[in-house]
Amino acid sequence: MPALQFKQLSDKALFVQFSMTINEQTHQQIQQAIAILQEQPFPGLIEIVPSYTNFCVYYDPFTVQKYLQQTQTTTSAEKVQQYIKTLLEHQQKEVPQESRLIEIPVLYGGEYGPDLKEVANINGLTPAEVIAIHTSQEYLVHMLGFAPGFPFLGGMDQHIATPRRATPRLEIAAGSVGIAGEQTGIYPLSTPGGWQIIGRTTKRLFLPEQNPPTLLRAGDRIRFVEVKEDTSC
């Protein structure tokens, strides 16, 4: 486990930094640490929210002060920090991490991907080449955020990296697949957004009737699969 950096965000939240570099190793370290904390939670733990290179721990400071016994600490944040540091430093076993491969069917271009040609032009490619590159990778789900079920993905080929739109759209349809810089992602809900939209999936990412209410989870891998619109009906 790397040397961790801690920062108190509020009386109820502690920031835990693993690295300044976004890569799969850092992701695995974060997911391993979260799995250990979930298996051995401290009194007052409410939620752990991961990001690319860190996670944030939310807790009840009154419960922490009352029940979490840590030597040489006074505040609830110090108690939580000491607990996390000691737990991760002395954890010997590997906690299994489930990872699923999920295929996402995508209708590329046309009304579903109005920015596909723009992405192609910026990168000196044809739309077909953009699609071929976009569907050739497996993407790691680093985290969910921005909107319920929105996956932040790692692994996109830099040959199709494209800046965000200069003027964001007021509404992007649910299921839209976009590119922003060196990232690609899927809009689970109809929201405003500035990503370059290259296609759309019929897969539902936000499932409020289920528990958990999202199709994807951090640690999953996805593969985009091109499909053609069914015009037989």
Statement to judge: residues 111 and 220 lie in one domain: yes
Statement to judge: residues 219 and 130 lie in one domain: yes
C-alpha 203/C-alpha 218 separation (Å) is: 17
Statement to judge: residues 81 and 144 lie in one domain: no
Statement to judge: residues 16 and 122 lie in one domain: no
Regions of the chain with pLDDT less than 50 = 231-233
Domain hosting 28: range is 5-90
Statement to judge: residues 12 and 49 lie in one domain: yes
Which residue is it, tokens 């990232």? 183
Q: How many domains does the chain have?
A: 2
Q: For position 194, what pLDDT does the model report?
A: 95
Statement to judge: residues 179 and 154 lie in one domain: yes
- Tell me 159's DSSP state: G
- Tell me 162's DSSP state: B
Q: Which amino acid, 210? A: Q
Residue 45 near residue 55, CB atoms below 8 Å: no
Which residue is it, tokens 């009154």? 62
Residue 76: how many other CB atoms lie within 10 Å: 23
Statement to judge: residues 72 and 177 lie in one domain: no
Provide the CATH number for the domain around residue 62: 3.30.1360.40
Write out pLDDT tens, residues 35-56.
899 999 999 999 999 988 999 9
Statement to judge: residues 125 and 214 lie in one domain: yes
Statement to judge: residues 128 and 65 lie in one domain: no
Q: For position 232, what pLDDT does the model report?
A: 38
